[in-house]
Amino acid sequence: MSSEAVTVHIFRHAAFAPAGDTLVTVAPVACATIAYGAAGLADAFGGSALFENRNSGEKWVGVWGARNGARFRRRLRQFFTLSVEKSAPDARLALYTTRRGNRPDYRAWATDHARQTTG
């Protein structure tokens, strides 16, 4: 686990549901890549959102939904100490991906990923 705190942002965003108040959780792209590997969040959650500050070049990636956000943070805590900001990062939604059809089985993903990282 890294001793440096990684900032995770939790905020509401209008892009993911008709009500316009979906909870979104994002972390720096490099941190999410360490925690979720090259397959990324799309394999673990069935989708992801990328927020970008074009002036600074900073990028955050994450998931929407309260339960997905909790799972996302739990996994990040295995690698980093988290500092939670309850506000959006200084960035705009650049893109989001979602898979049609069935959502991935989180337990199956976690089991497969554990096998890949332990040997």
For residue 105, being part of any structural domain is answered with no
For residue 111, being part of any structural domain is answered with no
Q: What is residue 81's predicted lDDT score, i.e. its pLDDT? A: 96
Q: What is residue 100's predicted lDDT score, i.e. its pLDDT? A: 61
Mean pLDDT of the chain: 84
Is the distance from CB of 91 to CB of 53 less than 8 angstroms? Answer: yes
Q: Give pLDDT tens digits for 56-85.
A: 999 999 999 999 999 999 999 999 999 999
Phi and psi at residue 7, to the nearest 5°: -85, 125
For residue 104, being part of any structural domain is answered with no
Q: Which residues of the chain have pLDDT under 50?
A: 108-109, 115-119
Residue 54 CA to residue 114 CA, distance in Å, equals 35
The domain tally of the chain equals 1
Q: What is residue 11's predicted lDDT score, i.e. its pLDDT? A: 95
CB atoms within 10 A of CB 73: 19
Which range marks the domain in which residue 44 is found?
2-98
